[in-house]
């Protein structure tokens, strides 16, 4: 995790790449749809990676502890799994969106407190 908080955040870029590859593999139709809309997933995933879902995306204390506990147990796979689960929970709504505004509205409503 040291590389997450140094200049140019090299570890962040690597973790972001891994997360994008995981999403591409687990949710190929959604990934292609968002790619067609030219959505940069880091708009949403940057905070997840940098805070391990402990930032503004997680208003539910129990959910925050679950993600953190999983991270301690299994490492970064916990963050990737949480991200995939979050995207899966709104996949149908995201597939209906035609632009970045609609995608952003869906993602703002999903936050982990809905869990």
Residue 80 belongs to what domain range? Answer: 2-114
Question: What are the structure tokens assigned to 39, written together?
Answer: 């959505």
Which pTM was predicted? 0.84
Q: Taking every pair of C-alpha atoms in the chain, what is the biggest distance, in angstroms? A: 39
What's the CATH number where 6 sits? 1.10.472.80
* DSSP 8-class letter at 76: H
Q: Domains in the chain: how many in total?
A: 1
Residue 30 CA to residue 33 CA, distance in Å, equals 5
Total number of residues shown for the chain: 115
Instruction: Give per-residue pLDDT as tens, 58-114.
Output: 666 777 788 889 999 999 999 999 899 989 999 999 999 999 999 999 998 876 554
In this structure, the number of other CB atoms found within 10 A of the CB of residue 34 comes to 21
């Amino acid at each position: 995790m040291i590389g997450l908080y140094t200049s140019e955040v090299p570890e962040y870029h690597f973790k972001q790449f891994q997360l994008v590859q995981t999403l591409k593999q687990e949710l190929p139709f959604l990934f292609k749809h968002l790619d067609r809309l030219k959505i940069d997933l880091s708009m949403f995933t940057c905070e997840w990676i940098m805070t391990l879902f402990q930032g503004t995306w997680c208003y539910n204390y129990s959910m925050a502890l679950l993600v953190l506990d999983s991270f301690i147990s299994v490492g970064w796979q916990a963050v990737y799994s949480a991200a995939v689960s979050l995207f899966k929970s709104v996949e149908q709504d995201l597939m209906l969106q035609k632009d970045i505004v609609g995608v952003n509205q869906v993602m703002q409503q999903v936050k982990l407190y809905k869990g």
